[in-house]
Amino acid sequence: MDRLTYVLVHGAWHGAWCWRDVTAELDRRGVAWRTLDLPSGRDTGAGSSDLADDASAVATAAEGSGPVVLVGHSYAGAVIAEAAANVDELSSLVFIAALIPGLGQSANDASRELRVRTSLDEAIVVDGPLLRIDPERASEAFYGDCSPSDQEWAIAHLGTQTLASFLSARQTPDPSVPRRYILCDRDRAIDPALQELMSQRCDDILRLTSDHSPFISHAEECVNAIVG
């Protein structure tokens, strides 16, 4: 059997950098992986990059990898769900503390399926077509279980996110592949109760006692959950 390649897709305001500890652990285990920076997190101008642009970038990153597992964190749950139909040799999908909009829904629609205000809501700053994170509130929202040094490192790397990425609707249907949800029960960005709703759209649910960023705070356990 050809070995799997895990395509790791970051959430909003993050980048490929956030998988630093996960990729080191995958390397240690001899597991193949790829990462990318989503267009919606690099668009600092017109802010027009949307879900379709991000999904296209994921499909491109997966090309030529053989059997692929798409792994999406947070907003990237919407991205991998949209990208899946255009990925050859797709093996499965893994969602980490993720939003999973249905067909015709946006990530924003999915986030409103349960109206619970979180620390992330308090941290978001609107800057025209872009959204930023207040650095003074980032640790509470994203990195509650991380060490102070890791919090400082991650906050220094946070970027912008286009509003369009959250508001654009999903256009592709669900793929006929297994779907796993990794629920983070100490999350203060996407409420665990909302994650429970999202997880019902998957075949398999694993639970981590973790903040919103287990790829930093609990990297080994996160990899265990990703690779099953």
Q: Give me the pLDDT at residue 228, please.
A: 84
Two tokens, residue 144: 């509650």
| CATH classification at residue 165 | 3.40.50.1820
- Pairing type for strands 90-96 and 68-73 reads parallel
- pLDDT (tens digit per residue) in 212-223: 999 999 999 999
Task: Report whether 111 contacts 190 (CB < 8 A).
Answer: yes
Tell me the pLDDT band of 146, cut-offs 50, 70 and 90.
very high
**Residue numbers of the domain that contains 63:** 5-227
- Please check the confidence at residue 2 and state whether its pLDDT lies above 80: no
Tell me the pLDDT band of 44, cut-offs 50, 70 and 90.
confident
- Please check the confidence at residue 1 and state whether its pLDDT lies above 60: no
User: How much is the average pLDDT of 53-59?
Assistant: 98
- Count of structural domains within the chain: 1
- pLDDT (tens digit per residue) in 93-131: 999 999 999 999 999 999 999 999 999 999 999 999 999
